Structure 1
Amino acid sequence: MVAHTLWLGLLILHSLLVEALGVPNPVVPAAGQSINLKRRSPPVRNETEWARWAKSHRDAVIAKYGLRSNDKRAVGENLIVNQGFDAGFYGTLAIGTPPYPFDVFLDTGSSDLWIASSNCDSTCAGTGNYNSAKSSTFKPLNRGLNITYISGDAIGTLVEDVVQMAGFTVPNQQFGSVTSTSPNFLQNPVMGLIGLGWQSLSFSGAMPFWQALASRGSWDSPLMAFQLTRYANASNAGDLEPGGSFTMGYVNESLYTGNIDYRNIPNGQASYWVQEITSMTVQGKFISLPGGSASYAAIDTGTTLVAGPASGIAAIYAQIPGSSPGTGQWEGFYSYPCTHEVTVEISFGGPSWAISPADFQFQPVGPSSDYCYGAFHSIPTSPNVPQWIIGDTFLKNVYSVFRYSPPSVGFAALSQTALAMNGVNALIPNATLGASVASATANAASMTTRTSGVPMLSIFVMLSFVVF
């Protein structure tokens, strides 16, 4: 009777997992996983709410890159974008033993991982928080962690546990277990953030999950790649839409055409994913830009728009008839006649990559206005960080690759297969389950890799392109 009950329980559990996660696709690379992306549709906002969003977004970029001279930055501090007013990508990873899934933003502009814990106060309490008491592999590190962003604080401690994503495992990943945040900062389903920048940017000092895998040879190729869909101009977008693809360990050749143009990170200084803007045109006219570090740009999936120095942004809009600078909460932005189809092209030392007019046109000034705000806005500059922040406004127009060795960023033209995904009201893709398991040690020199025909749990990433 006991055996029959146990068998029946396992059968029901299996049925529930299949229904929730879908049937795994057995055709996956041995050490490289493809991850389907999803996006959220834009919420309905009035003119005042959009103005608040614009100010919040610009302030978040300024804060994230430490561009205020009076900002005090303590050890372990991580400045990130605000979820409530910023577009971003989120994915699912698993933490602990047994593993539990968490939705986290993926951000190439930072390098720390943090998750809201089950001990979070009322500002970040939830049923899906990280509960260290339920993990047999949890290890406290007895170090405080204070994460600061423009809308407030997140406070917690640095801990260690098993982290899994897309079939890959780091058994001793260090991350922040957050116990308090500013009110309304965390919004379901996202419970944290995973940084995909380099360890030198990590405020906690922990090696990022991706870098632990790449440095130990867990991937077939030492790189990550993104293809993002466009729904900003789609009137029939649903609550969730397919958002493209994020791969670890290989590039999806069906999503780009031609060659990937790789450009090394300047001086080999791997921190941000930096590229030098060597030329920029607006409506076919060249913009005068300084050379060298004055035109360095961080390639940042965690930033929605494109930010740059005031002089460069002004030069861009000077090529657009009828443009004018914004005021109040729209400070740093520019408006221009919505009828103008503005095309900006950027080169990083190789081909020029065009930004679609649909991506450049960010938001109407008002419901009855003929003017729109552009997606390029100004921020203060600092010698310690890149002058330009290149976000999703640009990245939706290219296939982007972030390579570990040599440290470099590559871009390629999107294929017709990729372009055909834009604005399509399609079925939400099933979860991608890894059939292989790569295990890397984050702090030690050892690494083991094993391959199994058994699908791994819910170690998948479901990225959401959130447009606010």
Structure 2
Amino acid sequence: MARIAIIFLTFVCVFGGATFVKSIEEDFIRLPLTSLHSRSRRKADVVDPNAKKVNLWNDRNLQYGINITVGTPPQPFILHLDTGSADVWVPSVNGDCPYLCKAVNKYDSSKSSTYKEIPGKTFTLGYETGGLSGSVAEETISFAGLEIKNQVIGIGENQDTDLNSYPLDGIIGFPWSGATSQTDPKSTILGNLHKNGHIKKRFACLKLHQVNEQPGGELLLGGCDVEAEHWGRVYGNGYWEIPIDKVEAFGTDGNSLDSICGPGSSVPDCRATFDTGAAVIGGPSYLIDPIASKLGASKYDENINDYIVDCDDQTLGNLEFTFGKFKVVMTPGDYLSKDGNTCTLGFARLDDLSALLLGDPFLRKVTLLMNQEKDEAGLAKSNIDKPVARPT
């Protein structure tokens, strides 16, 4: 999400100026599946034998990057794939210091024959950790062998805090619509791929892997290799946001539970936003605090916007999300993080939100299907979901 795309990612360091750009994309052929799982009982009509699979790069479970080139001749970047953002931006070679000039790769418009300035057009993006601004242009971008001409991009020139997530260079937004975009509210990457004839349907499928697995994740364009076990219609606010039927937190005894939202709770209307730009689970305090309390956490640190827990506490509970008949259970191994001798719960108070923000810890448990054709987001079991050990 543009407002929080860099949450808890500002501690990433530059890795010695090393260049991380290499070709990691590959084609694949998928055959239609016949089993029926979705709420509408439809077959997997979203499977396209010409779909393109793009491997993602996992930066320590904090963010997921995609190799991309900008300009002619191509200038290489690794951009943070962000389903909660509607903008594409890269750092300028003329970006201010000390922040933007730290980027591993920088864009130089003077070296590109396809650069087209949009006179007078600027952008400003606000993140939890600071702001970014710059100029706007049309450029040719390419990833997975798919070229998009006249893609509107932001060129980052001014930055007021160290919000960059090195070694990734910028962001490639992958939203439901461009409604929240500061650079191009009329289009999306998925729509532009379709417009350029690269995919038959405005559909994508996302799988995030654990840090020790290769590849770090997969983005499938134009189709998927699984059927959704649940579909939800997006709310129309620009994000991949759908209803949740129920959220329950299991106590430290492993049996008692509290209904955090859904029928019978104080918050009957539950919503979930799927956001690869967040390394945490987030939401308003009236949802996050009851979850943390039931799981067994009580100490909230305002400086890091997370709960501090005892790394040796073996009594932390589980969290269960229910979407129709589809359930996702998060255990401590899924949500806990450790930095040195400090363990954090991975739940952030974000009181400017009304929905639960389900970031990477949740998305590693599922396959996310994104269907612009029918304004829906779907969920299926992850084909690599398995018990995750607690951090040690």
With the length of structure 2 as denominator, give the TM-score of the two structures. 0.75
Distance 1:130 1:31, change over 3 A: farther
Distance 1:205 1:35, change over 3 A: closer
Of 208, 211, 214 in structure 2, the residue corresponding to residue 228 of structure 1 is 208
Deviation at 1:153, TM superposition (A): 3.0
User: What CA distance in whole angstroms lies between the structure 1 residues aligned with 2:365 and 2:148?
Assistant: 32
Partner of 2:40: none
Q: Is the 8 A contact 2:337 2:345 kept in 1?
A: yes
Distance 1:247 1:115, change over 3 A: same
What secondary structure, in the 3-state scheme, does the structure 2 residue paired with 1:326 have?
strand
Of 259, 280, 304 in structure 1, the residue corresponding to residue 279 of structure 2 is 304
Partner of 1:13: none
Of 57, 81, 93 in structure 1, the residue corresponding to residue 68 of structure 2 is 93
With the length of structure 1 as denominator, give the TM-score of the two structures. 0.64
Opposite residue 243 of structure 1, the aligned amino acid is G
Partner of 2:261: 289
User: What CA distance in whole angstroms lies between the structure 2 residues aligned with 1:333 and 1:350?
Assistant: 31
User: What CA distance in whole angstroms lies between the structure 2 residues aligned with 1:327 and 1:129?
Assistant: 35
What secondary structure, in the 3-state scheme, does the structure 2 residue paired with 1:298 have?
strand
Is 2:349 the counterpart of 1:374?
A: no
Deviation at 1:30, TM superposition (A): 6.6
Partner of 2:190: 210
| 1:249-294 deviation per Cα after TM superposition (whole angstroms, max 9, x unaligned) | 12134xxxx743221113xx25111111210122262414257994
What secondary structure, in the 3-state scheme, does the structure 2 residue paired with 1:148 have?
strand
User: What CA distance in whole angstroms lies between the structure 1 residues aligned with 2:214 and 2:336?
Assistant: 21
Opposite residue 366 of structure 2, the aligned amino acid is V
Q: Is the 8 A contact 1:224 1:251 kept in 2?
A: yes
Deviation at 1:23, TM superposition (A): 9.7
Of 153, 156, 162 in structure 1, the residue corresponding to residue 134 of structure 2 is 156
Q: Is the 8 A contact 1:326 1:335 kept in 2?
A: no
Q: Is the 8 A contact 1:297 1:386 kept in 2?
A: no
- Which structure has greater helix proportion? 1
Q: Is the 8 A contact 1:93 1:102 kept in 2?
A: yes
| 1:189-245 deviation per Cα after TM superposition (whole angstroms, max 9, x unaligned) | 3221111112111122342222222466642442111112224xxxxx5xx953121
Distance 1:140 1:389, change over 3 A: same
Over the residues paired in the alignment, what is the CA RMSD in angstroms? 3.2
Distance 1:396 1:122, change over 3 A: same
Q: Which has the higher contact order (CA 8 A, sep 6+)?
A: 1
Partner of 2:33: none
Is 2:219 the counterpart of 1:252?
A: no
Deviation at 1:31, TM superposition (A): 4.2
| 1:317-361 deviation per Cα after TM superposition (whole angstroms, max 9, x unaligned) | 3433x5323244256536366202522110233311112330122
Partner of 2:106: 129
Opposite residue 32 of structure 1, the aligned amino acid is A
Distance 1:26 1:389, change over 3 A: closer
Q: Is the 8 A contact 2:26 2:54 kept in 1?
A: no
What secondary structure, in the 3-state scheme, does the structure 2 residue paired with 1:92 have?
strand
User: What CA distance in whole angstroms lies between the structure 2 residues aligned with 1:338 and 1:328?
Assistant: 22
Distance 1:354 1:331, change over 3 A: same
User: What CA distance in whole angstroms lies between the structure 1 residues aligned with 2:77 and 2:387?
Assistant: 27
Q: Is the 8 A contact 1:287 1:316 kept in 2?
A: no
User: What CA distance in whole angstroms lies between the structure 2 residues aligned with 1:214 and 1:312?
Assistant: 38
| 1:84-131 deviation per Cα after TM superposition (whole angstroms, max 9, x unaligned) | xxx221211111122222111111111011111222233323673111
Q: Within 5 A, what are the aligned runs for 1:49-88?
A: 87-88=62-63
Q: Is the 8 A contact 1:264 1:408 kept in 2?
A: yes
Distance 1:357 1:176, change over 3 A: same
Distance 1:250 1:331, change over 3 A: closer
User: What CA distance in whole angstroms lies between the structure 2 residues aligned with 1:120 and 1:109?
Assistant: 24
Partner of 1:346: 321
| 1:299-327 deviation per Cα after TM superposition (whole angstroms, max 9, x unaligned) | 1011011112222223223433x532324
Q: Is the 8 A contact 2:134 2:156 kept in 1?
A: yes
Partner of 1:414: 382
Identity of aligned residues (%): 22
Unaligned runs of 5+ in 1: 1-19, 43-86, 232-236, 424-466
Of 244, 247, 259 in structure 2, the residue corresponding to residue 277 of structure 1 is 244
- Which of 372-381 and 387-396 deviates more? 372-381
| 1:43-67 deviation per Cα after TM superposition (whole angstroms, max 9, x unaligned) | xxxxxxxxxxxxxxxxxxxxxxxxx
| 1:425-458 deviation per Cα after TM superposition (whole angstroms, max 9, x unaligned) | xxxxxxxxxxxxxxxxxxxxxxxxxxxxxxxxxx
Opposite residue 116 of structure 2, the aligned amino acid is K
Distance 1:413 1:312, change over 3 A: same
Partner of 1:200: 179
Partner of 1:335: 309
Q: Is the 8 A contact 1:41 1:241 kept in 2?
A: no
What secondary structure, in the 3-state scheme, does the structure 1 residue paired with 2:215 have?
strand
Partner of 1:33: 52
Opposite residue 411 of structure 1, the aligned amino acid is L
Deviation at 1:158, TM superposition (A): 0.7
| 1:369-404 deviation per Cα after TM superposition (whole angstroms, max 9, x unaligned) | 8xx5322232214xxx54211101111111111111
User: What CA distance in whole angstroms lies between the structure 2 residues aligned with 1:250 and 1:342?
Assistant: 36
Deviation at 1:183, TM superposition (A): 5.4
Deviation at 1:406, TM superposition (A): 0.6
What secondary structure, in the 3-state scheme, does the structure 1 residue paired with 2:303 have?
helix
Opposite residue 387 of structure 1, the aligned amino acid is A
User: What CA distance in whole angstroms lies between the structure 1 residues aligned with 2:170 and 2:24?
Assistant: 27
User: What CA distance in whole angstroms lies between the structure 2 residues aligned with 1:26 and 1:279?
Assistant: 38
User: What CA distance in whole angstroms lies between the structure 1 residues aligned with 2:278 and 2:90?
Assistant: 20
Q: Is the 8 A contact 1:109 1:195 kept in 2?
A: yes
Partner of 1:106: 81
**Which of these two proteins has the greater Rg computed from alpha carbons?**
1
What secondary structure, in the 3-state scheme, does the structure 1 residue paired with 2:179 have?
helix
